[in-house]
Amino acid sequence: MSKILLGLDIGTHTIKCVQLSREKEITALLAAGYIPTPISSISSNTQNDEKVIAGSINRLVHDMKVSTTDVVVSLPSSKVITRVVQIPIMSEKELDSSIQWEAEQYIPWQLSQVKIDYDIILRDESAGKMSVLMVAAPIILIEKYMRLITLSGLNPIALEPDILAVTRVISEGFETLPNILVASIGATTTDIALIRDKILIYTKSYPVGGSTLTKAIAEELGFEASQAEEYKKTYGFEEDKLEGKIAKILMPYFTNILNEMEKTITYFKEQYPKEEIKLAVINGGTARIPQLMTLMTKNIGIDSQISNPLSVLSIDPNILPIVSPDSPIYTTAVGLAMKEVE
């Protein structure tokens, strides 16, 4: 029997959803779709806003003609803490009772107000240490997402930070590469991460994204937001169009992202001096900005590619041409629907 699951990624700009079926080794894309996030943004907290967003999600899955309501949903990495921590080797039982104490050092919130999940990712017996992936999410955030999903008529099976879903897809897509630098550039947030041996070893969120760029163009050129958005998508970092005017406006924002990517590479080299990162994979809607990959490769000195989550899926030829132009925006949703769930 194949297992069918939805992956739902509620971004500040776009809500993305995919339906995957899994049978033995084959994961197939059955449906995919996206809609704009209603203006009453996902970050607001009123009951009415939740209803509006739930209404949009309901419409999206209805249009996709999904055949299940079981869904794995992403939490924005910027609102949760995802960290790999090194701790002395101990049994799972011991860890279970000490994780709260371990977590306290990394969490800026009251422990009574967060839910902590963890996973032992590496045991180094010789060093007497283990690496634990720890995720801490505010209970209020989890409750809000559970309400939203239920309101939209879906059945929440699991929630996880979006960067973990991205890690799942990218490590499967580039199986032969041990180390990968990741940048997920959405509308309001950029997450930078390191994957080593298919495991997320580091991640950090920055409050910059495509909306920041659109706003900058609008302010600089006195455009309406919609016109600024068009210019961003059409010209991006093209130096030889409009005398590189748009590229010049965007550059300072990207310089920040590039600097953070470089710092992340430096961190990796300090941690693993004998290893190398050979590829940067960029995903999220803003990955499609013209000439971004050239700019990345040139500046960080690592070959950069746009993520293509479809490469790990088997796809009905009828839906391939519909989904492929937008493929980088589905990375998180695909990773969510690929999660192993009971």
Ligand X SMILES: Nc1ncnc2c1ncn2[C@@H]1O[C@H](COP(=O)(O)OP(=O)(O)OP(=O)(O)O)[C@@H](O)[C@H]1O
User: In terms of CB distance, is 37 or 304 closer to Mg ion?
Assistant: 37
Among 6, 7, 12, 27, binds ligand X (CB under 6 A): 12
* 334, 324 Cβ separation under 8 angstroms: no
Does position 186 interact with Mg ion (CB under 5 A)? The reply is: yes
- Give me the residue whose beta carbon is nearest to Mg ion: 186
Based on its alpha-carbon atoms, the radius of gyration of the chain, rounded to whole angstroms, reads 20
Q: In angstroms, what is the minimal distance from the CB of 121 to Mg ion?
A: 24
For residue 55, count other CB atoms closer than 10 A to its CB.
Answer: 13
Considering only 17-25, 167-175, 262-270, 283-291, which stretch makes contact with ligand X by CB under 6 A?
283-291
Does position 309 interact with ligand X (CB under 6 A)? The reply is: no
Contacts by 204-209, CB closer than 8 A, 24 or more apart: 204/260, 204/264, 205/76, 205/77, 205/78, 206/256, 206/257, 206/260, 207/78, 208/253, 208/256, 208/257, 209/185, 209/284, 209/286
Among 188, 304, 305, 327, binds ligand X (CB under 6 A): 188
Give me the phi and psi of 251, to 5 degrees please: -55, -50
Give me the phi and psi of 125, to 5 degrees please: -60, -40
Does position 285 interact with Mg ion (CB under 5 A)? The reply is: no
* 11, 186 Cβ separation under 8 angstroms: yes
Binding partner of residue 307 among Mg ion, ligand X, none, CB cut-off 5 to 8 Å per kind: none
User: Which residues between 223 and 242 bind ligand X (CB under 6 A)?
Assistant: 229, 232-233
Among 66, 182, 329, 334, binds ligand X (CB under 6 A): 329
Q: Which residues pair with 156 in a beta bridge?
A: 71
The DSSP output letter for 38 is P
Sketch the per residue contact string, 190 through 209, with ligand X: x for CB under 6 A, - otherwise: -------------------x
Q: In angstroms, what is the minimal distance from the CB of 16 to ligand X?
A: 6
For residue 316, count other CB atoms closer than 10 A to its CB.
Answer: 12
Sketch the per residue contact string, 6 through 25, with Mg ion: x for CB under 5 A, - otherwise: -----x--------------
Q: In angstroms, what is the minimal distance from the CB of 47 to ligand X?
A: 21
For strands 199-206 and 190-196, give the pairing: antiparallel
> Interface residues with ligand X (CB under 6 A)?
11-14, 186-189, 209-211, 214, 229, 232-233, 284-286, 288-289, 329
> Interface residues with Mg ion (CB under 5 A)?
11, 186
